[in-house]
Amino acid sequence: MNKKWEYYSCDEKLVEQIQEKFKVSKLLATILVNRGIVEEEKIRKFLEPTRDDFYDPFLMPDMEIAVKRIMEAMEQKEKIMIYGDYDVDGITSISVLQKFLQKRGMEVDSHIPNRLEEGYGLNKEAVKEIYDKGYHLMITVDCGISATEEIEYANSLGITTIVTDHHEPLDELPKALAVIDAKRKDNKYPFNQLAGVGVVFKLIQAIGMKLGLEEKEYLKYLDLVCVGTISDIVPLVDENRVIAKLGLKLVNVTKNLGLKCLLEVAGYKKIDASTISFGIAPRVNACGRMGHETEALDIFLSENLEEVQMLSNKLNEYNKIRQETEKSIVENALAMIEQNKENEKSAIVLGSKGWHHGVIGIVSSKITDLYFKPSILVSFEDGIAKGSGRSVPGFDLHEALCKCSKYLEKYGGHEMAVGLTLKEENFENFKNAFEEVAKQGNVEGILPVIYVDGMVNSEDMKPEFIKQLEQLEPFGEGNKVPLFAYKGLKINSIRALTDGKHLKLTLKDDNLIIDAIGFNMGHLVDDYRIEDKVDVVGVLEINSFNGMEQVQINLKDIMKSI
C-alpha cells in the first residue's frame, strides 16, 4: 500500500537556539520545535515536569460543591456508592477514589455495569439496586455526563449524584448536584483532555487540600492514575504528561500489590508507556470484555498477596481467552472479505452470528489497519445486530452513521470509533447505504500518511544522541514516537524472519553499517535486492547485544531512491 511521507516544516534557526541553550542534540531540539514546545518554561515542563505543574483543582466546574458535599458525608459517616465503567480508565478511577475515601475512614462501595448485560453507563435497574442497599450519595466516575434520565430517576429516589466525567456533554447537563467535567461549555479549567481517572485525581487533590493533608496523601495514587490515563489513549500533553511522567516513576516502585503482580505477569523488562499499553491495559480490559469486570477492580483494591496473585493469573487467562476469541473472529472476518471481495469496496461492513460483543471492536480496528478503510463489524443475536466500527483519518464515522440513521436503532461514538445497534432485517440496507456514504466521502483517495520529524544522516547515528530522545517519553496520543527519514542507503543484506513475517536488513552509508527491522513487512523481501538504493523512514532505537550498543532503525516504510 502506498504511503505519503509528510515532513514537518522546521525552523532550523530555532532548533539551533534550543540546542545551544539546553545542551541537547539536534534530534531532540528538532522534535521540540515540531511539537511547538519552544518557550523556556514549556520546554522545562515538558522535559522535567514536577508536582508543582498540576493546576488548581478548584478551577474545575462544580468542584467546590462536590468537595463540600463529600466532606459533609465524612462528618455524618454517610456511605458512598461509586458508579464506574468496565475499562481500565473506569477501573482505575474507582480504585483511586475508593482507596482514598476509605483511608479517610469512609464506608465506600462500587458498581460496575456488566458490559454484556448492562452495557456502558448508568441504568435505572442499577440505580434502583443502589437505592435498595441504602445509599443516598452516588459519585459517577468516567461516566454520567449523558445520563440525564438515569440521574433524574436517582433524584426521584432521593439519591444525590456527583458526576465526574471527561466525555463530551449533551446540550443539557444532567441535573446532578455537581457535574465535574472540563468539557462543559462554561469550563474555566486550563486543560480539558484529562482521562476519567485524571478528573478523579483532581477530586481527591481538592479534598486533600480542603482537609489540609500532605501532598503525598493524594500523589501516592499517581501510579494508578497514570495507568488509566495512558490506557485511555488521551493526548499525553500538558497535565496528562505531568500525570504520566510522574506516574511512571511511581509505577516502577508501586506499592499497589495488584499492579505489581500484573507487571510481573506481563514480563516487561522496562516499565514505560508501552508496558502499560500492551502489558497492563489488555489484561484489565479483558475482564470487562469477557464479563468479569469486578475481578479487575478487586486486583487493585486487594491488600492480600495470595488473592492478587490468584487474580493476576485469572486476568492473564481472560486475556488469553480474549486473544483466542479475537483470533477466531479475525480469521472468520478475513475469510468473508476474501470470499465476497469486500476489500474492493469503499468500506468493509460484516455481520455474523456468534461474534463476541466485547471483542469485535478490536477486530474492526485490525481490519481497518489492514485495509486502511472504515470497517463495521456486527454480531447477530435474536434478530438484533450489535457492533462496533473504526475509521481512517479523513472519514468521519459518526457523521456517516447519522446519514444512515433510518436503519439504526441506536448509535454513538465519534469520528474514529462508533458503537451501533440495528435490527438484523435492516443489515443489508444499512450496509448498502453506508457503502454509498463511504464512496461519496472518497475513501479510496485517502492515503495513509507518515509524519516525518526530520532527515538524518550518518552524523546522527550515535547512541548518545538517540538516548537523549528518551527524555520525550512517555510516548502516546499527542506525543507520538518521533520518525526520521534516511535517504540514499544501499542494501547490504536482506532477508525475511519468522516464516516470512518480518523484514531484516543491513543498510550502508559509505563505511557505516546500520541494522534495520521491519515488523510485518516480510512480504517486501522479494521487492528489493542487495545494492539497491533505498529511502527509509522509521524509529531510531538502541540495540544492546553482548555489551555493545548500536543504533537500529525500526522501519515504518521503505521505498527505492529516486
What is the DSSP secondary-structure string of 323-357?
HHHHHHHHHHHHHHHHHHTGGGSSSEEEEEET--T
The neighbouring-strand residues paired with 525 are none
Domain covering 4-48+450-560 assigned CATH 3.20.20.80 in the classification: no
Containing 263, the helix (H) or strand (E) segment is: helix 257-266
pLDDT at 146 exceeding the cut of 90:
no
Rounded to 5 degrees, what angle do the CA atoms 130, 222, 272 make?
Answer: 120
What's the pLDDT tens digit per position in 416-432? 888 899 999 999 999 99
How confident is residue 204, by pLDDT bands cut at 50, 70 and 90?
A: very high
- For residues 246 and 48, give the distance between their C-alpha atoms in angstroms, rounded to a whole number: 9
User: Could you tell me which of 530, 512, 527 has the C-alpha nearest to residue 559?
Assistant: 527
Residues of the chain with CATH 3.10.310.30: 341-445
- Return the residue matching grid coordinates 536482506: 494
Alpha-carbon distances of 178 from 62, 67, 82, 203, 339, rounded to whole Å: 5, 9, 14, 12, 54
Question: How would residue 412 be classed by pLDDT, with cut points 50, 70 and 90?
Answer: confident
Residue 209 has pLDDT above 70, yes or no: yes
Residue for grid cell 462536590 = 66
pLDDT tens track for 42-71:
999 999 999 999 999 999 999 999 999 999
The pLDDT tens digits of the residues spanning 289-332 come to 888 888 999 999 999 999 999 999 999 999 999 999 999 999 99
Phi, psi of 157 (to 5 degrees): -90, -10
Label residue 288 by pLDDT band (50, 70, 90): confident
Q: Once rounded to an integer, what is the mean pLDDT over residues 202-207?
A: 98
pLDDT of residue 437: 96
Where are the domain boundaries for CATH 2.40.50.460 in the chain? Answer: 4-48+450-560
Region 53-214: CATH code: 3.90.1640.30
Query: Quick one: residue 475, left, alpha or beta (phi over 0 = left, psi -120 to 50 = alpha)?
Result: beta
Closest CA to 361 of 428, 430, 419: 419
| For residues 227-255, average pLDDT | 95
- In terms of Cβ atoms closer than 10 Å to its own Cβ (0-12, 13-18, 19+), residue 274 is middle
- Contact predicate 411/389, CB 8 Å: no
Answer whether 555's CB lies under 8 Å from 542's CB.
no
Where in the chain do CATH 3.90.1640.30 domains reside?
A: 53-214
Cα gap 349→431, rounded to integer Å? 6
Q: How confident is the model at residue 117 (pLDDT cuts 50, 70, 90)?
A: confident
Stretch 502-507: mean pLDDT:
96
Confidence of residue 114 (pLDDT cuts 50, 70, 90): confident
SS3 label, residue 420: strand
Could you tell me which residues are beta bridge partners of residue 509? 512
Question: What is the C-alpha to C-alpha distance for residues 1 and 534, in angstroms, rounded to an integer?
Answer: 17
| Closest of 316, 297, 364 to residue 95, by C-alpha | 297
Residue the block writes with cell 440525564: 148
DSSP-assigned letter for residue 272: S
Say which DSSP state 190 is in. Answer: S
Average pLDDT over residues 424-444: 95
For residue 37, pLDDT beyond 80: yes
Q: What is the model's pLDDT at position 36?
A: 92
Tell me the per-residue pLDDT of 153-195, one tens digit each, with 9 for 90 and over. Answer: 999 999 999 999 998 888 899 999 999 999 999 999 999 999 9
Q: Is the pLDDT of residue 548 over 90?
A: no
Measured distance between the N- and C-terminal CA atoms of the chain, rounded to whole angstroms = 18
> For 116-139, what is the mean pLDDT?
90
Cβ atoms of residues 277 and 313 within 8 Å = no
Average pLDDT of the chain to the nearest whole number = 93
Q: Give pLDDT, residue 171.
A: 86
Q: Which residue, among 45, 55, 122, has the nearest Cα to 83 in the 3D structure?
A: 122
pLDDT at 127: 95
- pLDDT computed for residue 550 by the predictor: 87
How distant is the alpha carbon of residue 485 from its chain centre? 27
**What letter does residue 118 receive in the DSSP assignment?**
T
pTM equals 0.88
Determine the pLDDT at residue 289.
81
Q: 337: which 3 cell numbers?
A: 472479505
**How far lies 59's CA from each of 14, 41, 64, in Å?**
34, 22, 9
Dihedral of CA atoms 391, 395, 400, 402 in degrees, nearest 10, equals 100
Whether residue 482 is preceded by a cis peptide bond, meaning omega within 30 degrees of 0, is: no
Phi-psi domain of 546 (left: phi exceeds 0; alpha: psi -120 through 50; beta: other): left
Question: What number is the average pLDDT over the span 19-47?
Answer: 93
Res. 1 pLDDT band, cuts 50 70 90:
low
Instruction: Select from 3.30.420.300, 3.30.950.10, 3.10.20.740, 3.10.310.30 the CATH code of 341-445.
Output: 3.10.310.30
Residues 500-522 have a mean pLDDT of: 94
